[in-house]
Every structure is written in structure tokens, then in C-alpha cells.
Chain A
Amino acid sequence: MQILIILLQIAALLAIVLLHVAYTTYFERKIIGHMQVRMGPMLVGWHGLLQPIADGIKSFFKEDIIPEQADKPLFLAAPIICLVTMLASLAVLPFARGWVLADINIGLLFLFAMSSLASYGIILAGWASNSKYTFLGGMRSMAQVISYEIPMGLSLVGVMMLSGSLNLTEIVTAQGTSIFSIYLFPQIIGFFVFFIAMLAETNRVPFDLPEAETELVSGYLTEYSGMRYAMFFMAEYIGMMVMASIGTVCFLGGWNGPFEIPFFPPFWFILKVYGFLFLFIWIRATLPRYRYDQLMELGWKLLIPLALLNIFLTGLFKVFT
């Protein structure tokens, strides 16, 4: 009985998240469209509201092309690895008090592990397609992941130090005593580093090097088509949401808000995640793209020292209070 309830909860969460993925793509197209003084999708449904559904159906029925020279098992496995790891990280996210599938003590570490594994899928995809563009995309992805996992992890160390826990629920609870009950102000440097590393981790502009369209055609995605392409796509958007959730939980106080919303406790959490997603899209509409070596430079020469500085300052803060 217990298992059945958990399975139902998982199914519900999956359905909600996948719906969110579909409509994030829609709103991304709409928002970027309007920022670029055009309209975005308009034809399928009212103002194109059914566009993501149509896209889903299209990619589902499209031919799944596997290049002749590709390493077939890895080529087939790569998108699944990407998607599954991203979906797995949803398990530990606390949407509200008690609204969490697996309230484990190492929640934050689990999230890091999963997001690193997802990059493994991307590297495999680049490698297994046996195409030069995908290979370059995979290499870039590998370098990017190594460079940005570190500042990201380090930036969250400050949060761990302040809250004294790796459990996400406890991190949120611990923020209750801080200013505005969020860690944003005591951890402003950490947040800055986290935010940039988050953009890089999810392969979003200005760090979308692994799939830089004008350089590598489509990077690691070049040889994928149909549903497998859509899986990468979903993984990317779930990754965005997971990262936004980490940001919300660790820096913006999770489900805490100015006042309680009755019957729907995750309201503030969801609002903050939406805010992050809008920021992602907004940045995509504005900024150009870094070059590969500049990206490395930024990661190693700026973000890691900043993150270390943040740990040092947090330590001082802990010692003197």
C-alpha cells in the first residue's frame, strides 16, 4: 500500500514536471519572441498554446535515425542516461514542508551527483555519434562540466556552513532566522557564483558552447532526431528546473514567503522557480556567447577564487557570531 502511494506520487510529479517542460519551451519561445519584437508560435491553438503538444507528437512519430558509423548501444543509451538522471534528481526536492519524495540527509550531494551524471550522457552522445561536430560538442561539454562543478559545489559550501546540514528541508528551515528568511544577502557572493555556474551547468546562453548552433551546427545533438532528440531537450529543461529549485532552496528560502498560502504550500517555491526560469530565458534573449577558452578562464580564474573567498568570509562570520 505504501509503495502504491509512493508510485502514485512519482507519477503525479512526473506528469506535472513534464507538463512544465512542455510549457517552458512554449513560454521560452513566446518571451524571446516578444523580446525580439515578433510573436513566437501563433498558429496551433489560441496564440499557439497547443504548440508544445504538437511538437511532442511530431517528435514522437519522427523517424529515429541512427548513423551507420555510430556506436549503437551508447548512442541509444545517451539520451536515456541524461533524462533519467535529471528525473531522479527531482526525488529529493522539497516543494513544501513534507512535500518531498525522498527526504534524505545528503540531498544536496545527491543533486550534484545526478547533474554530473547527466553531463556523462552528453559526453557519451558526442562520442558515440561518431561525427566531428558532436565530438567537439562532447569535448566542450566535458571541459565545461569539470570547470563548473567545482565553483558550483564551492558556492554552496557557504550555505551548508550556515545551515549545518545537507538535507534540503533543513536548509530551508534554517533560513528562517536569516534576513527576510533567505540566505541571499549573507551569501551574495555565493549566489553570484552559483548563478553563473548554474547557467554553465545547464548549457544555457551565454555558456551554450556544447550546442553552439553557429559553430558546431548543433553540438552533441547534431546526429540525434525524433524522440531521442526530444529526450535531450526534456533533460535540458528539467535540468533548468532542478537548478532553479536548488537556487530557490539554498538561497531564496524555498517555500517560505511573506505570508502563508492556504491549501497550496508550494506556492512561493513555484513562484521563485518561475522567476529563475524567466531569468534564464531573459538572459538567452540578451547575451552573446563566450568562447571555449574564455569560459575556462572565467571558471578557474574568477569563480573558484570567489567561491573560496565566500567560504572564508562565511567561516569568519560563523566564528564571530
Chain B
Amino acid sequence: MTESATINVPVAQGNEDKYKLKMGPQHPATHGVLRVDLELDGETITDCDPKVGYLHRGFEKLAEHRTYAQNLVLTDRLDYMAAMANNVGYCEAVEKLLDIQVSNRARFLRVMVCEMARLASHLLWLATHALDIGAMTVFLYAFRERETLMEIFAELCGSRLTNTYTCLGGVRQDVTHEIMRKLDNFINEFPACIEEYETLIDTNRIWLKRTIGVAPVSAEMGLDLCLTGASLRGSGVDYDIRKHVPYAAYDQIDFEVPLGETGDTYARYRCRMEEMRQSNYILRQCIEKMPPGAIVGEDAPDLVMPTTPRKKVTADTSARQGLIKLIEDRDVYMEGDIYVATEVPKGELGFYFISDCKGKPYRMHIRSPSFIHIGALETLGKGVMVADLIAIIGTLDVVLGECDR
């Protein structure tokens, strides 16, 4: 390099008038550590290639060396916006695999925390989506409500973000009157808060211009891209696992699945806003219908799970304190595989287990919605402008912890 460096502007190499931009992994709007390799023609994207893996922590491999009870802590760190929903999804899957019964109260508590997690996640989605498009005040208003939820979580299970709230066969802590009073206050105030966000963006002409018609996804296209959750429901496909394959106590609760029509960014935005209202309604029902009873089932396994014996274990309650008594009458860990999906805020979170009669899964696969949604970015991102790509990343609601796991 000589002293007088020529300006090396990254355009126009011969007849090539496109240039490459590697957006991320350090970029304010890629929601973590997503990298998108772009090929730009002016500001129009001609090629879009998302690259993942910057947050890979090897959860699926780690899970093979931990008992089913211990693996729960890994699920907290998948979608850290809605750790509760992951906990519930994991426990539902393992309970089906090991055939563990859950008490009705625990089911309701699970629905309750799931919906709180959905609110927390959607609030964060709204906050960042609005911030990406430039409306920064919504960000802080949404965080204000999220903080209330986080504090309820902290009071309920001792942790704000990595909750580890459920356990196999139930939940780890019961609610108190104080928590329920706070939650009741929250759900009474929350609809007004949604109104507040909507005042700022819902009919705002700039917001409409930035979202209507951006990245339209038809129903067929959405199914082809394997989109789930609100990203698919925005296109009008009625697919909600809570409704169609109810888990926990969703079969005892009345709610509706909001469906969009046009499948563009605005429809998805409206869908999620409606979902927040529905979650609020579900929470109200949870409070009103909360049944009495124990929070862990009769046959719930102890946290200290033996890894090799194929025996049912419970905590000893009579003889020597704290030691494990093995009940010899039933095999606990069956052989085979199972796939159980739950509806987390981002979409369909599935756990696939292969069990070889041990206390640890032989293989655990996580079908994470974010990973699949990022895959859709390649299709949706072609032919739009850089500013739209940011809006699309926001509207797909990806979180990289879950994508890279």
C-alpha cells in the first residue's frame, strides 16, 4: 500500500455493478448474532444468504450427557425471551415419553406461565420490531410492561429470565396470593397498554408504509417455508397447536386464534397484537379457574434421576431422609422415540427424543421455530430494500439463542 491510498469504493468491478455486504453478526438490528450476506444492487437486495451458528452451544449434544431432569436448564437458554414456554414444552415432551401424570393445578399453572411468557416475548418482539423501523418510544413502553412480568416471574420462581420453573410431573413452586394479585392488576391494566402502543404505530402512515405489502407470504408459501406461529397465521392458515393438539390445560380454556389475511408484515403485526389480547384473556381465565391441589403429580420422578436403572424413583418420605428408594414394580424409561410439539411464542417448538432405556436421552433434537424462520429469510429477502430486510427479520420474530441452540 503506497502512502497515497486510492479510494477503493466497493462498487463497479468491470461490468459488475453489484456489491456484497455482510450484515452482522455485529449489527444493531439482527437480533443477536445473525449474519446475512447480502448482494446489493444500489439498495435493492438481489441475493440474501443468512448465516447462523454464532451462538451454537451444542445443546443437543449436551443433553445426551444429562438426565431428563437436568436437561430442563438447557431449555431456558433456547428462546431466552420466553424461557417458561420452553420449559413447558420440554416437560410436556418428556412426560409423554416417560408416561408421567401431571396434576390439574400444575397444568393450569403451566398455561399461566406459558401465556405470561408469550406476552413477555411478544412485547419484546413489538419493542424491537418498532425500534428496527425507527419508532423508539414503543420500545420503552413495551419494556415497561415486560418488567412487570419479569418481576412476577422473579417472585414466582426466583429468576427473571432463566426460569427453570417446571419440573417433570408438575411445577416447582406454587403461586401465592400476592403473585396472583399482582398478575390480576397487570391483566386489568394491560389492554390499555396495548392501546397505547397502537396509538403510536397502528394507524401511523409511516408505519403502514413500512409494513403493508412488505414480504407478503401466501398460505401455500408459508406452508412450503415451514413457517409456524404468528408468522404463518398472518397468512390465514389456522394452525395453532394450543387449539388443535391441546397440551397442559389448553383444552379447558376458551380462546381464539387470530388469523390474518394478507400475510404481509402488517398482518403479522396485527396477529401478534391480537394474540396479546387473547393471552390476556387466557390469563384471566387461568386466575379464575385455578383449581386446588398439589403442584406435582403423584408419580413425579425425583430431581435426582438415576441414569442407568430402569426403575421408578421417588423421594423417600419415610425411612432415611433424602435418600432414594427404588420402587421395583415398573420400568420408568421406555424404549423408542417421540416427537412432541408445543406452541411457543415464536411458533412450533418440537422436542424429538430417542430413548434407549436410560435416564438420559440417546438423542434429543429440538425443532426450533427461529431456525426455520431464518431459513425463510432467503426467499423473503430477495428483491426488497435493505430497510425492508430489517423489517422482515423483525416480523419473523427470530431469536438466535433458539436458532443456533
Contacts and interface: CB of A to CB of B under 8 A. Distances in A.
A247 interface: no
B135 interface: yes
Contacts of A63: none
A215 B390 contact: yes
A128 interface: yes
Interface in B337-376: none
Contact of A288 (B10, B21, B141, B206): B206
Interface string A108-135: 0000000000000000000110101101
Contacts of B210: 288-291, 294
Given A37-B140, A215-B390, A288-B133, A71 B7 contact: yes
Interface string A222-260: 000000000000000000000000000000000000000
B187 interface: no
Interface in A192-248: 205-206, 208-209, 212-217
A223 to B, nearest CB: 13
Interface of A is mostly: helix
Contacts of A53: none
A9 interface: no
Nearest to B128: A214
A214 B29 contact: yes
Contacts of A208: 134
B144 interface: yes
Given A72-B5, A132-B19, A289 B137 contact: no
Interface string B96-134: 000000000000000000000000000000000011111
A215 B7 contact: no
A285 interface: yes
Nearest to B133: A288
A208 B8 CA distance: 26
B206 A289 contact: yes
Contacts of B1: 68
A32 B29 CA distance: 21
Contacts of A294: 209-210
A69 interface: yes
Contacts of A70: 5
Interface string B380-403: 000001111010000000000000
Nearest to B11: A135
A232 B9 CA distance: 22
A285 B137 contact: yes
B27 interface: yes
Interface of A: 32, 35-38, 68-72, 74, 127-128, 130, 132-133, 135-136, 139-140, 205-206, 208-209, 212-217, 285-294
Interface of B: 1, 5-11, 19, 21, 27-29, 42-43, 130-137, 139-141, 144, 200-201, 204, 206-207, 209-210, 385-388, 390
16 contacts: A35-B137, A36-B137, A69-B5, A74-B7, A130-B7, A133-B21, A136-B21, A206-B134, A208-B134, A214-B28, A285-B136, A287-B204, A289-B133, A289-B210, A290-B209, A291-B388
Given A140-B43, A286-B135, A290-B206, 9 more contacts: A38-B140, A71-B5, A130-B7, A135-B10, A136-B43, A213-B28, A286-B137, A291-B210, A291-B388
